[in-house]
Structure 1
């Protein structure tokens, strides 16, 4: 496809890729893109240096007022230097051979390291010239981990459009910044940046609700099975009302590729595609889960292209089964019927669409939702069981079968928080010239978080600060009762699994995987309860906003959480530990996934981050003696003499002693970089005090009238305690 009046174009000449450039493109911003790779872009510029053209990726000056470096470790690399070829064309045009550069240049695409390309087995398949873009299709063979992998890899050179007015980043809202790999995307801090968003502009600026000059359009991958297309389309269109909140009618379109579209390469910048990679993801090197690949104008944060990749869909049914099968008969057969599977594909499409609109994975007000509404069909229809589809709340397992809630209301959907986020990010603010002039209007929206708690966004972090940061659980303002009801349903799931196995000949591998999924959910629910201990509620604030950012969970709620946690985590219910079908699947106690989760939970209870939060509660917030109270309560509960046949309890006792000894001996890693992640001297002292008490209790127990079977275990525990010198 040719360009008659182009600033640049490409063609193949004897298998070589020749680029022709007009001098007008020199020093002008352009993108060099490797399609299908998150972060696969450089903003580049061409310059003429003697008899060569130089392609450089200089720092980008964002209109928000920051300089964005490119390349690895903030470098601004020269990507290539090419001799100008002799040409009989107009002297304002120059030609260079980019074949080897495209096929073999050792470019680091952000987090992705260069791969070893086999040049003899790699070649350029074709070149397509489009308006402001040249697309180069290649067949690339790389050597990765000793394996040869051949795949189609497309590249583009793309002239950037006129920059739009950016919307300034606000750490209280859930949008990515223009540089998706920058550290500010992973820390809740004020920063100078622009948010990622599409360019939407009203056709009629006088109307409250107007169609945009140009809609956001997604194309369906032709390889998508026909039966799933309506559900994928519905997942995108779930967001239409959210854009209406921002003042845009018909802002979204989902199209099929038509005859004219077939003239465009699959990866042209002018097309955002919903790609179907679920069918053969096992056999090919493809995404194992769904994701989004975006191309961004770093100057403004404008999203130029966003491909939604639908990866493996097996985990969709697995997660839904262990959460909702007691309330949805469709989920009690394998495989799921198409209507249920389609609804789950719609859900994952809607989630990924949120990323395509610029929003992050995070927590969006879940902890503020009222527990008593989670079984109310009217609330669920209007508000959903979670405020946003962008959090990992998953599906509603609090509902009980007797509630008779329609199954369609169990699945996570676009919610009120999503409408709020899109309104803040996309509404057109008129009669302003500079990005900072928008701030009064935007601030008024942000301050709605003061009165609407489920509008409060917080970023998922390495340190889980409280219940508002939980993942993979259905969060609301009562994690304990939610977990209690969730466990009731999980017990029903075990019964359904046993019935399917006994009566319907469920495949053993599916049975085993479903059991592992159930254990994983149990583990997530235990962590949810655990998040109350040393936990805070969160409301990000900026200068001028009054009140605390972090508010501690009430002490009585923390005490209740510890009691519930000990009940469940030390001695899990028998229906989970030893379901009826398990005896047909196992020949050994190894591996014991449940015990592994129990041991992790003990470690998480006494994680140094949690203990330091409890220390702060003691020092500054009046929670006097809370660490010692919790430590001694857990220790006394764990070491009540148990039947020695309860091997998991015995293993937890040993795990607890080993952890305590390491802390007291200061054997935990204490390098310079990890010093802040270790235990404080205060905590070490409390652990030593607890060890002294435990040693005394164990010795008294040995002198008492106990079962002979317990003697050996107690002596093993005392031997472990001898590893630390206890000064009396």
Structure 2
């Protein structure tokens, strides 16, 4: 109990506050109050924009000549809000990748006497402008000025102003250039204007696109260090926000969506109330009457994704299939042909097409050894409307897919036995990841709890898996079917868009014609959620760093972590003896054998963590007042005790099956014990997380013998870790490593660091 008391004392949280200040303008400027000289006054249009300038019509008229750029801003757009999206267009090695988003801001052009100001607009605190409190909100949220521009002349028709914006793109404006974190990392000292220039400017009906090259002096550049410089090419998209914001849809914790939040002081509430809107595309039925009759109709404006011209031809069909796989979900919301994938247009088809242009949503293909893909989106902060998205696709994600598919299915799946898969197999894996990332771009976060809906033994059924995949949502990190055993005859190992995905799109994208506004549709949406509350296929388990709810984990399958991990471990033990045969490549070294052996060890560690998180776990079931049952419920004692026993048998004992000499003697002279130690100690750290211990201690205090408490858990863990002392057995080196790891963890828990 002395140990537990110390742990209680150390489980403290610290908070810190921050303050910011703004430099006030110099009030002692000697020129204040003096009249402008004739040379400072706006000139005639023809004196500023000569016949030598190239002009382009669009959102603004733009004029270019000899490296200078002028914007001709209509008076009608002064005060209007625009979205400024900064992207890296081209970059030096190790500084991101072309197409990556760097920053997004809402901005406004505003006239102040004879200057035009570019201001950053925030939507963190809002109020309706007709409400008395609006003035107080505005006075408490002064919009910072990015840059001020002298008015050079009136526009040719006198319905606007002309300003020289060259310095916006040639001087060091943080919101348009290298991010602060990278400046600090590379020790950037200044922007070198002599080595920076504007490459191109184009104006379109709703947006302006600028590409400019910036060169920074740096003492620690990530590549070409002898130059002492970093050169990047940026693309700035300035797009007019919709004149009429989309009708928002309020968030619901029981249905997963990305969101935008703000404090609305204009509400009739007795506190500062935060509102939360989901992010989604504006899909409106082209025929409202047919839609209301229940007929499938096309949207007025479908969601369109273009494939990056840099994408290898053979993978394009699979990326496009991953996009259009979502049409089945949109049909559940009443729309057909709602989402479309297209090859990039040729110069003849669309001479203006550019992947950086904010008008186009593109699956960007990065030549990178990073093993990943990501799916962000750009949205209107006023309503949550998604305006555009660029999926980031790294070339080397294929290696990640190879590793996952091999270690999770090769025991039962001949198609995954090998260093390289057929194009058809890899193509289907690409299709899976494409669909997952598209899910993010249409508003859906990870649903880590989805896979818990399926009984583990269902994943051994060929019929069930061919119909339902591995989870009801492709937004889970369910991956591939590691549960199926060789004798089961399962042939479908992939996740697919499932029942939860269909439901979440229905909830987020259905047009509710009977509801006049967001408030009036809330009850209808709430009723939809309650109708499905008892069905585990519609469960949303949020992604959480703390992983409090053991149902909501990454890389797991089924509703029983112990049983699923038992099946998975049996398959890993089948793979190890075949590993050298399945990776055989005449004339090649053993690097692939080394990598895939490491992947087997990693997968074993995943199974241990899945089971370990049952201990101290709490089920999290979000509810509203009109629903029965608890929101938080401690994992049953029997499951926690079973999990501890399983870990002692399958995690903390000596894993002789991983010490296969036929493999180890070909990939390393030493190091097997260290790999095992890292995996076992990592599992110990999961069980002995301070927050997990805090939950166990609280369960002890609140429920006593009804639950698996901290004292019982620590006693069982200690007995298993030190069982050789009780049995007077010799201690294997693997076990000594584990015991040392246990002591290190206990030492950490007694330190001040654990209290954070």
TM-score range, shorter chain: 0.7 to 0.9
Residues 88/379 of structure 1: CA separation in 2 closer, same or farther (3 Å cut): closer
The residue aligned with 1:120 is 194
Rounded to whole Å, the distance in 1 between the matches of 2:339 and 2:59 is 31
Answering whether residue 564 of structure 2 is matched by residue 482 of structure 1, we say yes
Q: What per-residue deviation string (whole Å, max 9, x for no partner) do you get for residues 327-374 of structure 1?
A: 222221222111111111111101100011011124243223212211
What does 1:409-428 align with in structure 2 at a 5 Å threshold? 409-428=492-511
Local SS of the residue matching 2:73: strand
Match of 2:120 among 20, 39, 57: 57
Local SS of the residue matching 2:315: helix
Residues 195/624 of structure 1: CA separation in 2 closer, same or farther (3 Å cut): closer
Local SS of the residue matching 1:21: strand
The residue aligned with 2:318 is 231
What does 1:688-703 align with in structure 2 at a 5 Å threshold? none
> Contact 1:231/1:345 (CA < 8 Å) preserved in 2?
yes
- Deviation of the 1:300 alpha carbon: 0.7
- Deviation of the 1:559 alpha carbon: 0.9
Local SS of the residue matching 2:735: helix
Match of 1:89 among 151, 156, 162: 156
Match of 1:391 among 469, 476, 480: 476
The residue aligned with 1:196 is 279
Q: How many residues align?
A: 647
- Deviation of the 1:506 alpha carbon: 5.8
Rounded to whole Å, the distance in 1 between the matches of 2:179 and 2:71 is 26
Rounded to whole Å, the distance in 1 between the matches of 2:681 and 2:548 is 21
Local SS of the residue matching 2:121: coil
The residue aligned with 1:245 is 332
Q: What per-residue deviation string (whole Å, max 9, x for no partner) do you get for residues 253-311 of structure 1?
A: 1112333323233322221111111xx214xxxx6521123221111111110111211
The residue aligned with 1:701 is none
Answering whether residue 543 of structure 2 is matched by residue 468 of structure 1, we say no
Rounded to whole Å, the distance in 1 between the matches of 2:274 and 2:444 is 17
> Contact 1:7/1:24 (CA < 8 Å) preserved in 2?
no
Local SS of the residue matching 2:426: helix
Gaps of 5+ in 1: 181-189, 675-728
The residue aligned with 2:692 is 610
Residues 2/491 of structure 1: CA separation in 2 closer, same or farther (3 Å cut): farther
The residue aligned with 1:153 is 234
- Deviation of the 1:62 alpha carbon: 8.4
- Deviation of the 1:387 alpha carbon: 1.4
Match of 1:254 among 313, 330, 341: 341
Rounded to whole Å, the distance in 1 between the matches of 2:217 and 2:539 is 46
Rounded to whole Å, the distance in 2 between the matches of 1:360 and 1:547 is 25
TM-score by length of 1: 0.83
- Deviation of the 1:520 alpha carbon: 1.3
> Contact 1:38/1:294 (CA < 8 Å) preserved in 2?
no
Q: What per-residue deviation string (whole Å, max 9, x for no partner) do you get for residues 405-445 of structure 1?
A: 11xx2112211111111110000110322211111211122
- Deviation of the 1:177 alpha carbon: 0.8
Q: CA RMSD in A?
A: 2.8
> Contact 1:364/1:390 (CA < 8 Å) preserved in 2?
no
The residue aligned with 1:263 is 352
- Deviation of the 1:447 alpha carbon: 1.4
Match of 1:651 among 721, 737, 741: 737
The residue aligned with 2:651 is 569
Local SS of the residue matching 1:281: coil
- Deviation of the 1:75 alpha carbon: 8.0
Q: What per-residue deviation string (whole Å, max 9, x for no partner) do you get for residues 527-555 of structure 1?
A: 10111112122211123322111222221
Residues 74/33 of structure 1: CA separation in 2 closer, same or farther (3 Å cut): farther
The residue aligned with 1:294 is 377
Answering whether residue 721 of structure 2 is matched by residue 669 of structure 1, we say no
Rounded to whole Å, the distance in 1 between the matches of 2:173 and 2:252 is 36
Q: What per-residue deviation string (whole Å, max 9, x for no partner) do you get for residues 610-647 of structure 1?
A: 12222232233343573222222221222122765621
Answering whether residue 466 of structure 2 is matched by residue 381 of structure 1, we say yes
- Deviation of the 1:107 alpha carbon: 2.2
> Contact 2:322/2:433 (CA < 8 Å) preserved in 1?
yes
**Range moving further from structure 2, 361-370 or 208-217:** 361-370
Local SS of the residue matching 1:275: strand
- Deviation of the 1:151 alpha carbon: 3.6
Match of 1:99 among 166, 182, 186: 166
> Contact 1:364/1:455 (CA < 8 Å) preserved in 2?
no
Residues 637/92 of structure 1: CA separation in 2 closer, same or farther (3 Å cut): same
TM-score by length of 2: 0.80
> Contact 1:29/1:44 (CA < 8 Å) preserved in 2?
yes
Answering whether residue 108 of structure 2 is matched by residue 45 of structure 1, we say yes
The residue aligned with 1:221 is 308
Rounded to whole Å, the distance in 1 between the matches of 2:102 and 2:232 is 19
Rounded to whole Å, the distance in 1 between the matches of 2:590 and 2:602 is 18
What does 1:473-552 align with in structure 2 at a 5 Å threshold? 473-474=556-557, 476-501=558-583, 507-552=589-634
What does 1:296-311 align with in structure 2 at a 5 Å threshold? 296-311=379-394
Residues 327/621 of structure 1: CA separation in 2 closer, same or farther (3 Å cut): same
The residue aligned with 2:437 is 352
> Contact 1:577/1:594 (CA < 8 Å) preserved in 2?
no
Rounded to whole Å, the distance in 1 between the matches of 2:658 and 2:127 is 54
Rounded to whole Å, the distance in 1 between the matches of 2:374 and 2:437 is 6
- Deviation of the 1:376 alpha carbon: 1.6
> Contact 1:465/1:535 (CA < 8 Å) preserved in 2?
yes
Rounded to whole Å, the distance in 2 between the matches of 1:658 and 1:276 is 44
Answering whether residue 85 of structure 2 is matched by residue 11 of structure 1, we say no
> Contact 1:64/1:168 (CA < 8 Å) preserved in 2?
no
Local SS of the residue matching 2:111: strand
Answering whether residue 584 of structure 2 is matched by residue 584 of structure 1, we say no
Q: What per-residue deviation string (whole Å, max 9, x for no partner) do you get for residues 373-410 of structure 1?
A: 1112222232221111112111111011211211xx21
> Contact 2:615/2:643 (CA < 8 Å) preserved in 1?
yes
Residues 536/625 of structure 1: CA separation in 2 closer, same or farther (3 Å cut): closer
Rounded to whole Å, the distance in 1 between the matches of 2:546 and 2:80 is 43
Rounded to whole Å, the distance in 1 between the matches of 2:732 and 2:141 is 55
Rounded to whole Å, the distance in 2 between the matches of 1:79 and 1:539 is 45
Higher RCO (CA-CA < 8 Å; seq separation 6+): 2
